[in-house]
A and B are shown apart, each in its own frame.
Chain A
């Protein structure tokens, strides 16, 4: 595959349970997007989606790799984690559903808004999970709706 020169890609590693570093990746992503001049409303959507994805790993999974790909047409985030997976994906997508512990809720997480929030901020959203192995999430945000070649 031609790794084309119009494509920017970054790979981030996330560790489960690493609350003290949570949020660093979404901040890093935001800075990259600001530098290349992405519209601020899209930056906000990406920042929220990547933060929620990051938090999901920190709270529930063992480790994960988050890849960011940007081309002039679209922005793509792919998260692949190793962890318990999600038993019932449809249920997990419901607003308010959460398996968070009391401690997590005390810290302001686990309101059951994570996955719905990611979906809400994406133009395209895909999720698949294998219980006992892990979850993978794929989201796309369109950058250039007007200029169709």
Chain B
């Protein structure tokens, strides 16, 4: 019944309400209610920060289990280029793709080539675009959701070109169904994902269309089995394997990769949500009108920093960077044919089906006069709070608590600094407890005495 599908689930059995998730959430979407984390769905943009922060693995990413494969007659794995950065430098994409097939997929598809096509298509779009600038990459679904929720007026600046994984799945289904004489739905396409947000972009695409992918499997789930599967593969020629790598596509794994491989002069690359907020604020003020293109990823350093990856983010970032440098140095251009891409582009092959729509947060009240009144009350309540953001009330900051109160979602007495009011007329039980525990240093009783007392 939820309006929004989210890529995370809170396991209330495991959750012990330690507030780590609540404190890291960049959109203040988590509260602690009755000692357990609680997600405010409309505020969540699926960045996955809470998954990493939870010390008890109580926030679970909703990726697909491996068993899903049996539902299809033919299965194809489509790994994110970030997977190529998870292993040692001598393990190139060719070997990784072979390893995936050993794991049980009927085929493994090199997404880098499609990413390359989309890079070219992006270039075409940048060339002919005449609206307000800069354009913003749609590669990171969290960034798209952030714009929908917090920067609705920037929505037309999101590039409306289909994501490589979607294009790849669409074309694979078409081709394979002909080749193998199967129905399209009998072919399962699975994305090997570096982060949980890709899962929602499959279950509930931001532009409200339908995804061509059938599921997403976490890179961290597949890492161990894949590593051992690759042990048996004979070492081929390094040089030959190198020649098959599309430099444009590999760039998609890291922040700045698209700008760099396309050699875009007037572009910015930014990663990490707090940094993105700064850049988007500047875009909104019209300060970056002279920039053509912004590549933004919610995870630090881009997809290699996804919460479902295994390798240290800086090591994997560096691996991709070195790979790009090597390909540049060796002048290897295993890229799609740009003339072919231009032809497809003019046939609207690359564009998304739907349209990105804003998803602004609910205001304090639908009626403006009432909303103004509530906003004033919120201000007043906030003034009365200690503003130390202790979190004991279950809200991440005093300000969000004040908001929850005027929305009727929290009581003023939930704030421990308002506690005395709650006990204006304390019960006798409480008075006893109060006397017992308020002067601990003087009544430090031995365990024996305590046992005696309890026995009374």
Interfacial residues, chain A to chain B (CB-CB below 8 A): 5-8, 23, 26-27, 30, 32, 34-38, 40-41, 43-44, 47-48, 51, 70-72, 108, 117, 143-144
Whether B285 and A32, one on each chain, are in contact in the complex, defined by CB atoms closer than 8 angstroms, is no
Q: When chains A and B are docked, how far (Å) is the Cα of A108 from the Cα of B288?
A: 9
**Closest residue to B373 on the A side, CB-wise?**
A5
Contact B372 A71 (CB under 8 A): yes
Query: Is A43 touching B375 in the complex (CB atoms < 8 A)?
Result: no
- One of B285, B290, B364, B376 near A26 (C-beta < 8 A): B285
- Say whether B358 faces chain A, with CB atoms less than 8 Å apart: yes
Give the 4 A-B CB pairs with smallest separation, nearest first.
Answer: A37-B363, A36-B371, A51-B285, A72-B368
Contact A143 B368 (CB under 8 A): yes
With A47-B285, A108-B287 as known contacts, state yes or no: A6 contacts B361, CB within 8 Å: no
Complex Cα spacing A7 to B371, Å = 10
Query: Is A6's CB under 8 angstroms from B282's CB?
Result: no
A48–B372 CA distance with the chains assembled, in angstroms? 22
Q: Is the CB of A36 within 8 A of B364?
A: yes
Q: Shortest Cβ distance from B363 into chain A, in angstroms?
A: 3
Interchain CB contact (< 8 A) of A40 among B282, B360, B364? B360
- Smallest distance from the beta carbon of B153 to chain A beta carbons, Å? 5
- B11 located at the interface, meaning its Cβ lies under 8 Å from any Cβ of chain A in the complex: no
Alpha-carbon distance between A70 and B371 when the two chains are bound, in angstroms: 11
CA distance A117 to B281 in the complex (A): 18
A52 to chain B, nearest CB (A): 8
- Verify A36–B375 contact, CB threshold 8 A: yes
Q: Given the complex of chains A and B, what is the CA–CA distance between A138 and B38 in angstroms?
A: 44
Compute how far the CA of A144 lies from the CA of B157 in the bound complex, rounded to whole angstroms. Answer: 27
Does B363 lie within 8 Å of A44, measured CB to CB?
no
Q: How far is B372's CA from A72's CA once the two chains are assembled, in angstroms?
A: 8
Q: Is B284 in the interface zone, CB < 8 Å from A?
A: yes
B residues 329-388 with Cβ under 8 Å of A?
Answer: 358, 360-366, 368-369, 371-376, 378
Chain B residues whose CB sits within 8 angstroms of the CB of A26 once the complex forms: 285
A35 in contact with B153 given A6-B369, A30-B284, A47-B285 (CB within 8 Å): no
Distance A149 CA – B356 CA, assembled complex (angstroms): 36
Q: Is A27 within 8 A of B281, CB to CB?
A: yes
B35 contacts the other chain (CB 8 A): no
In the assembled complex, the Cα of A9 lies from the Cα of B151 at a distance in Å of 24
Asked whether A37 lies within 8 Å of B284 as measured between CB atoms, the reply is no
List 28 contacting pairs A-B, 8 Å CB cutoff, sorted by A. Answer: A5-B373, A5-B376, A6-B372, A8-B372, A8-B375, A8-B376, A23-B281, A23-B282, A23-B285, A30-B284, A32-B375, A34-B363, A35-B364, A35-B371, A36-B364, A36-B371, A36-B375, A37-B363, A37-B366, A37-B371, A40-B358, A40-B360, A44-B153, A51-B286, A70-B372, A108-B290, A117-B286, A143-B368
| Residue B391 interfacial (CB < 8 Å) | no
Partner of A36 from the list B282, B287, B368 (CB cut-off 8 Å) is B368
Q: Which residues of B contact A40 (CB under 8 A)?
A: 152-153, 358, 360
Among A6, A35, A47, A143, the most chain B Cβ lie within 10 Å of the Cβ of A35
Q: Is the CB of B372 within 8 A of A7?
A: yes
- From A6, A35, A41, B373 is in contact (CB under 8 Å) with A6
Q: Are A48 and B285 in contact (CB under 8 A)?
A: yes
Known: A8-B375, A36-B374, A36-B375. 14 other contacts (CB 8 A): A6-B369, A32-B375, A35-B363, A35-B364, A35-B371, A37-B362, A37-B364, A37-B366, A38-B368, A40-B358, A47-B284, A48-B286, A70-B372, A72-B372
A41 contacts across to B, CB distance below 8 A: 153
Knowing A34-B360, A43-B153, A48-B286, the reply to whether A72 touches B375 (Cβ < 8 A) is no
Smallest distance from the beta carbon of A50 to chain B beta carbons, Å?
Answer: 9
What are the residues of chain A within 8 A of B284 when measuring CB–CB?
A: 30, 44, 47
Minimal beta-carbon separation of A98 from chain B (angstroms): 16
Cα A43 to Cα B371 in complex, Å, equals 16
Measured CB to CB, the closest approach of chain B to A111, in angstroms, equals 10
B282 partner residues in chain A, CB cutoff 8 A = 23
A44 to B375: give the CA distance in the assembly, Å. Answer: 20
Q: Which residues of B contact A43 (CB under 8 A)?
A: 153
Q: Which residues of B contact A144 (CB under 8 A)?
A: 368
Give min CB distance, A118 to chain B, whole Å: 12
Asked, given contacts A27-B281, A43-B153, A108-B287, whether A37 binds B373 with beta carbons under 8 Å apart, the answer is no
Contacts of A23 in B (CB 8 A): 281-282, 285
Q: How many whole Å from B391's CB to the nearest CB in chain A? A: 21
Provide the residues of chain B in CB contact with A34, threshold 8 Å: 150, 360-361, 363
Distance between Cα atoms of A72 and B373 in the complex (Å): 11
Q: Contacts of B369 on A, CB cut-off 8 Å?
A: 6, 72
**Chain A residues near B285 (CB-CB < 8 A):** 23, 26, 47-48, 51
Interface centre among B358, B365, B369 (most CB of A within 10 A): B369
Query: Closest A-chain residue to B363, C-beta based?
Result: A37
B376 → A minimal CB distance (Å): 6
Q: How many Å from the CB of B42 to the closest CB on chain A?
A: 13
Closest B residue by C-beta to A41: B153
Whether A37 lies near B368 (C-beta < 8 A) is: yes
Closest to B287 in A: A108
Looking at the assembled complex, report how far the CB atom of B357 sits from the nearest CB atom of chain A, in whole angstroms: 12
Alpha-carbon separation in the docked complex, A43 to B361 (Å): 14
In angstroms, Cα B358 to Cα A29, docked, is 20
